[in-house]
Amino acid sequence: MQVEEYLNKIAESEGTVHLTLIDPASQTPDQAAEIAHAAVLGGTDAIMVGGSTGAGGVLLDQTLLKIKERTDKPTILFPGNASGVSKHADAIFFMSLLNSRDINYITTNQAMGAPVVYKSGIEPISMAYIIVEPGGTVGWVGDAKLIPKHKPELAVAYALAGKYLGMHYTYLEAGSGADLPVTPEMIGAVKHVLGDNKLIVGGGIRDGETAKMCALAGADMIVTGTILEESSNVTAKIEELVSAIKK
Ligand SMILES: CC(C)=CCC/C(C)=C/CC/C(C)=C/CC/C(C)=C/COP(=O)(O)OP(=O)(O)O
Ligand SMILES: O=P(O)(O)OC[C@@H](O)CO
Ligand SMILES: [Mg+2]
């Protein structure tokens, strides 16, 4: 089964998907594999691999190879630029940062990365990437014209544009390590116009209660990264998040 179909099936049958984000720059490949293994034991559905800075090349390849030794769940690239593509992943969130001011993040990195995706045979999953205040490092690196936190109608406008351009997934990003995730009002308004298209929410989700709030508001998939890097017991943390968002 293709990864997109696998994720969609879980969203339908279990209500919400949990995605674990691992930044190859944050630890050694062996440590990354340990986190991935612990996350799978806790019930995560897939492993996203990427980072906004220094996440390509040998470190990315080694991290994916080690993760694949320890888990059977799909690995999905979450690239910060064209160097975030690796043939060792199963799929890639092939995303355009719709609210960037910099053409590099709208189409140029996509053009530079596309032939690599083509040759490697990994599955591209088209995605509209939208960054909301505070935006964090990724907002700065991607030169995003940040969506104001309390302007859901602007997020809706970008999400609709992505849907009409044919993107299957929409990612509402508050930035890695944000104090708070995007608001339930914004999530609900965006999901309302997306219909069956899948909505991913990430940035600043640290506990089951917050994850549940995002899921109830309309998120089909929840991403957590930073909290897992900080947890002494990754499996228990994932169990908390997963039990809060699954039917
Ligand atoms: C499709 C291809 C080949 C490239 C897309 C390139 C685009 C659109 C990038 C968007 C802007 C960007 C820098 C995204 C990075 C996404 C990401 C991996 C964010 C979070 O990673 P963390 O490692 O948690 O964050 P920090 O690096 O900030 O800690
Ligand atoms: O690190 P956190 O805050 O969990 O954010 C995850 C993801 O949305 C970052 O791109
Ligand atoms: Mg990081």
For the stretch 183-216, pLDDT in tens is 999 999 999 999 999 999 999 999 999 999 999 9
Residue 21 CA: nearest ligand 2 atom is: 6
Task: State the chain's mean pLDDT as an integer.
Answer: 97
Alpha-carbon distance of 18 to 7, in angstroms, equals: 9
Q: Ligand 1 centre and the CA of 23: distance in Å? A: 10
Is the beta carbon of 138 within 6 A of some atom in ligand 1?
yes
- Ligand 1 atom 21, closest CA: 51
pLDDT at residue 56, as a whole number: 78
Question: Would the pLDDT of 54 be above 80?
Answer: no
Give yes or no for a contact between 158 and 99, defined as CB atoms under 8 angstroms apart. Answer: yes
ipTM of the complex: 0.96
Give yes or no for a contact between 121 and 2, defined as CB atoms under 8 angstroms apart. Answer: no
pLDDT band for position 236 (50/70/90)?
very high
Give the ligand with the smallest distance to the CA of 107. 1
Q: Ligand 3 centre and the CA of 195: distance in Å? A: 31
Q: Which residue ranges are tagged as binding site for Mg(2+)?
A: 23, 52
pLDDT band for position 102 (50/70/90)?
very high
Question: Would the pLDDT of 55 be above 80?
Answer: no
Residue 20 maps to which CATH number?
3.20.20.390
Q: Which amino acid is at 153?
A: E
For residues 37-52, give the mean pLDDT: 96
pLDDT band for position 26 (50/70/90)?
very high
Is the beta carbon of 76 within 6 A of some atom in ligand 1?
no
pLDDT at residue 230, as a whole number: 94
For residues 131-137, give the mean pLDDT: 97
- Ligand 1 atom 20, closest CA: 51
Q: Is cis: bond before 134, omega within 30 of 0? A: yes
Is the beta carbon of 203 within 6 A of some atom in ligand 1?
no
pLDDT band for position 148 (50/70/90)?
very high
Question: Would the pLDDT of 228 be above 90?
Answer: yes
Structural domain count of the chain: 1
> What's the domain range around 7?
3-245
Q: Which amino acid is at 71?
A: T
Question: Would the pLDDT of 4 be above 80?
Answer: yes
pLDDT at residue 196, as a whole number: 95
Give the ligand with the smallest distance to the CA of 51. 1
pLDDT band for position 117 (50/70/90)?
very high
Residue 202 CA: nearest ligand 2 atom is: 8
- Ligand 1 atom 18, closest CA: 51
- Ligand 1 atom 11, closest CA: 142
Residues 6+ apart with CB under 8 A from 46: 3, 6, 7, 17, 19, 20, 73, 74, 75, 76
